[in-house]
Structure 1
Amino acid sequence: MDLLGYGSMIGEAELNPVDPRAKIAVTRLRAFHRIVAEHSGRHFKTLVINDGAVAYRDLSLRSNGITHDFLQRSFLLFDAISELERRNGWPGARMVVAAGFRARGSRRGIDAAAARVERILERMAAGEIAPEQAVREAGRIQRYSDDIPQLQANFAFTRAYVADAGGSGAGLGGPRMFVDTALFAGGKTPLWVTSGPPIPFQEPRLGLQCTFAPVTGLEAPGRGDGLNIPGLRDGLEIGETIAPTLSLRKLIKAARETS
């Protein structure tokens, strides 16, 4: 998700932080950050970088409930940001929800910090430092190189980023929410999802071909058989749908048969 027109706002202020126009842009940015934080949680973690935000979650291989939860949380965030933008006369935001594979990301910064905490605890256990000093030292620990493992080599992030960058030229313009139709059973939006006509998207350099639905509303989907929500795919079904090679599709199919 990113704010539309933010670059133009700070450009008009000539990147001068004391220009009144820049102050409006910063006010807009801080309001954006606040709403993203309010919608973040254990099952909807986010990373904010200036005027953009990324939410991420691994899908379930056995149930499409997590697919629905992520889609619903994404829509609620988009709706809240859109209301803020309308109320203030700002250009709005664009959100792209995409599915994809990911490799395990590096935990180097996290593990290094954890090792430092472990050393502090060992010193406290050995009586070398008092608990109060241990707390103070732990509180001063900083990570000088940071990353989020879930977003490294994350090709759902790649699909969303490339589609967002395509913007109007790719048919994905304006302050709208676009959802990868790979999330939907049969590649079609279910009855409880309100959307416009599907929009094909491709990026030949990456071998990327997919379709996005401009979603404008979500209703209560019902529970179907009580286990799965009608009209959505689970993680394995999505993986089998978007797998770029036959060998990968066979691996996913085998995982489905043994799960």
Structure 2
Amino acid sequence: MSNSQPTVSKNAIFPFQVSVACWIDLLGYGSMIAEAGFSPLRPKAAQALKRLRRFHEIVASHSVRHFPTLVMNDGAVAYRDLSLRSRSNTHDFLNRAWKLFVDIRQSELRDGYPGARLVLASGYRMRGRRAGMDASAGHFESLMKRYNQGNITADRAIREAASIRPAFDIVPQLQANFAFTKAYVAESAGSAGGLPGANFYVDMALFQGRPTWLHLGPEIEWSHPRLGLKATFSSLIDIPILLNPEAGPLDIRDGLQVAQHVEGNADVLASLRAAKNSRN
């Protein structure tokens, strides 16, 4: 693969984004709830629910604009699109995922729980949007129209807006997101898939070669034959504090380089442009 990178316009928008996602799951939580007979009324459930609330609190404390999350019971996903021009998004997401994992690990160890497993993976996602999918949008538009026409007071408009509850919701960035698919399936495979224990596993597609600035475990060739998914993961043991965190180390890949690696094609940008033109 050539070291020269094709130029990507700053304002270029393609129908497919190169993304990263990490899925983290509490180990042994299902067993705790099972011991309580799946009933919150039983004494054993209190400990499991306390553990779950603490997990949610930690995830919430790490959730920011460039590291949004979605919690689903005892698991959570964080996601971000990679830049086709800069390594900074890749490096920033890796660091944020690591800090989340460390905080959860420390909490779990302190409380005597089994810990959590996190898998960070890369892949494409289809661009999508929320507009037109949620009937509550019509409710809000009606509310604003009545307010602008003077039919309701500002206080009434605020109270009514606060009471709107969507009957359907969606996170566009997680629909047809194959980074998320890979992370979720790999984490769910666990020990049987070669990813045991309460560890952080990172997709080596994010790096050119094996980075020496990271403390990594052995590489693991993972695959899911039925789904046709495969990746090389390594357990991440530690990330040092770098002097240039904004740009990121030279051997971490930007989004275009990740796509080139995944496709095995240095001219993947032409394919993205062709996909864009076919939809115009």
TM superposition score normalised by structure 2: 0.83
Q: Does structure 1 residue 235 correspond to structure 2 residue 258?
A: no
Q: Give me the whole-angstrom Cα distance separating, in 2, the residues matched to 1:143 and 1:44.
A: 24
Query: Closer, same or farther in 2 for the Cα pair 1:254/1:241, shift >3 Å?
Result: farther
Query: Closer, same or farther in 2 for the Cα pair 1:103/1:243, shift >3 Å?
Result: same
Deviations 1:146-169 (A, max 9, x none): 111111111000000110111101
Describe how 1:71-110 pairs up with structure 2 within 5 A: 71-108=94-131
**Contact 1:2–1:95 (CA<8 Å) still a contact in 2?**
yes
Describe how 1:117-136 pairs up with structure 2 within 5 A: 117-136=140-159
Q: Give me the whole-angstrom Cα distance separating, in 2, the residues matched to 1:135 and 1:35.
A: 30
1:249 Cα deviation after fit: 6.7
**Contact 2:80–2:93 (CA<8 Å) still a contact in 1?**
yes
Q: Give me the whole-angstrom Cα distance separating, in 1, the residues matched to 2:34 and 2:265.
A: 44
Deviations 1:61-87 (A, max 9, x none): 110101011000000000000001111
- AA of the residue aligned to 1:197: P
Q: Give me the whole-angstrom Cα distance separating, in 2, the residues matched to 1:238 and 1:130.
A: 53
1:250 Cα deviation after fit: 4.8
**Contact 2:260–2:266 (CA<8 Å) still a contact in 1?**
no
Gaps of 5+ in 2: 1-23, 276-280
**Contact 1:82–1:93 (CA<8 Å) still a contact in 2?**
yes
Q: Give me the whole-angstrom Cα distance separating, in 2, the residues matched to 1:21 and 1:249.
A: 54
**Contact 1:185–1:232 (CA<8 Å) still a contact in 2?**
yes
Q: Give me the whole-angstrom Cα distance separating, in 1, the residues matched to 2:116 and 2:94.
A: 17
Query: Closer, same or farther in 2 for the Cα pair 1:182/1:254, shift >3 Å?
Result: farther
1:34 Cα deviation after fit: 0.4
Which residue is 1:205 aligned to? 226
Aligned length: 252
1:191 Cα deviation after fit: 1.8
Q: Give me the whole-angstrom Cα distance separating, in 2, the residues matched to 1:227 and 1:33.
A: 31
- AA of the residue aligned to 1:83: Q
**Contact 1:105–1:151 (CA<8 Å) still a contact in 2?**
no
Describe how 1:177-196 pairs up with structure 2 within 5 A: 177-186=200-209, 188=210, 190-196=211-217
Query: Relative to structure 2, which stretch is displaced further, 81-90 or 136-145?
Result: 136-145
Report the aligned-residue RMSD: 2.3
1:198 Cα deviation after fit: 0.7
Higher share of residues assigned strand? 2
Describe how 1:212-227 pairs up with structure 2 within 5 A: 212-223=233-244, 227=247
Q: Secondary structure at the match of 1:100?
A: strand
Describe how 1:134-145 pairs up with structure 2 within 5 A: 134-145=157-168
**Contact 2:135–2:167 (CA<8 Å) still a contact in 1?**
no
Q: Secondary structure at the match of 2:230?
A: strand
Deviations 1:188-217 (A, max 9, x none): 2x1221110110101112222210010010
Q: Give me the whole-angstrom Cα distance separating, in 2, the residues matched to 1:204 and 1:10.
A: 32
1:246 Cα deviation after fit: 9.1
**Contact 2:260–2:267 (CA<8 Å) still a contact in 1?**
no
Query: Relative to structure 2, which stretch is displaced further, 134-143 or 27-36?
Result: 134-143
TM superposition score normalised by structure 1: 0.90
Q: Secondary structure at the match of 2:78?
A: strand
Q: Give me the whole-angstrom Cα distance separating, in 2, the residues matched to 1:246 and 1:193.
A: 26
Give the alignment partner of residue 169 of structure 1, picking from 182, 192, 206.
192
- AA of the residue aligned to 1:144: A
> RCO (CA 8 Å, sep 6+): is it higher in 1 or 2?
2
- AA of the residue aligned to 1:117: F
Deviations 1:83-131 (A, max 9, x none): 0111111001000000010112351576543343222222211122222
